[in-house]
Structure 1
Amino acid sequence: MKNYCIALFSFIMVSSCQEKKAENFDIGLLNGYWEIENVVMADGSKKEYKMNETIDFFEVKSDSGFRKKVKPQFDGTYIVNDVDEKISIQKSVEGTFISYKTDYATWKEKIITLSTQELILENDQHIQYQYKKPTPFTIK
């Protein structure tokens, strides 16, 4: 019994001392257009977005770039303005984060999921923003 307790204690100690590693996302998948699908609040309540007037456009090269809000048009093009948010990608043991900077504020969001069709970001208030790739449309 004594050997069992020592082995169990040793296992717990070794397991708790192992270094956590941040998820290794392919940050290149962030590039392009992303449409907000829903927001999940910290209390679990959800707000769904059926239609969006703006879409987020990300461009990242070498762990830095920008995010810009663009407005889709009926002919498949986007209206773009000169306003953008500078971003940088930061990896740590807590996760992979997008840090934003504008003339007015700085903040960061943790990347929870990043794939070719899904992006989930979480801010420091534990609010999750769930994005999807927008479906192009045109009206002729």
Structure 2
Amino acid sequence: MKQTLCIISLFMFFGCTSKVSKEDIANLNGYWEIEKVTFANGDTKDYGVNQTVDYIKLDGFKGFRKKMQPKFDGSFSTSNDAEPFIIQNANGRFEFQYKNEMSEWKEEIKSISKDRFSVINQDALTYTYRRYQTMSLKE
């Protein structure tokens, strides 16, 4: 009985894990805000309202990520700073790979849909993003 439960549990775990495909990568284009962070111990921190959002622009598997501050009129303010990256397929897993003069780091892409994506970094922190929806003061 225990063996059967173990096999079913493994099947459920691997069957429910979504694999990121090359075609999914294009869904990363656009504005994103952090929904939650999951720590290595399983604790989570939820984010309700964000003062900044990430703008991701891809051209194939190269792109940049830029911090943007939404304004009430629907526009954004930002600096000229952008973090360039490439997306690599590393052993069947897609990764953001960042490199600048001061450091380099990777984030494994865990899942992508049109409305959400998540990454895990080298410190085992999982960031879940939701697509940013502009807020309108019009009623």
Shift of 1:86: 0.7
Question: Which residue of the partner structure matches residue 90 of structure 2?
Answer: 92
Shift of 1:94: 5.0
- The answer as to 2:57 corresponding to 1:51 is no
- The answer as to 2:21 corresponding to 1:24 is yes
What SS class does the counterpart of residue 29 from structure 1 fall into? helix
How far apart are the structure 2 equivalents of 1:45 and 1:112?
18
Question: Which residue of the partner structure matches residue 63 of structure 2?
Answer: 65
Q: Deviations over 1:29-49 (max 9, x none)?
A: 011001101000000010111
How far apart are the structure 2 equivalents of 1:32 and 1:94?
24
The one of 109, 117, 129 equivalent to 1:131 is 129
What SS class does the counterpart of residue 28 from structure 1 fall into? helix
- The answer as to 2:104 corresponding to 1:106 is yes
| Greater Cα offset, 98-107 or 36-45 | 98-107
Question: Which residue of the partner structure matches residue 11 of structure 1?
Answer: none
Q: Which amino acid aligns with 1:50?
A: G
CA RMSD of aligned residues (A): 1.4
Q: 5+ unaligned residues in a row in structure 2: which ranges?
A: 1-18
2:20–2:112: 8 Å Cα contact kept in structure 1? Answer: no
Q: TM-score, normalised by structure 1?
A: 0.80
In the TM superposition, structure 1's runs of 4+ consecutive aligned residues that sit over 6 Å from their partners are none
Larger Rg, first or second structure (1 or 2): 1
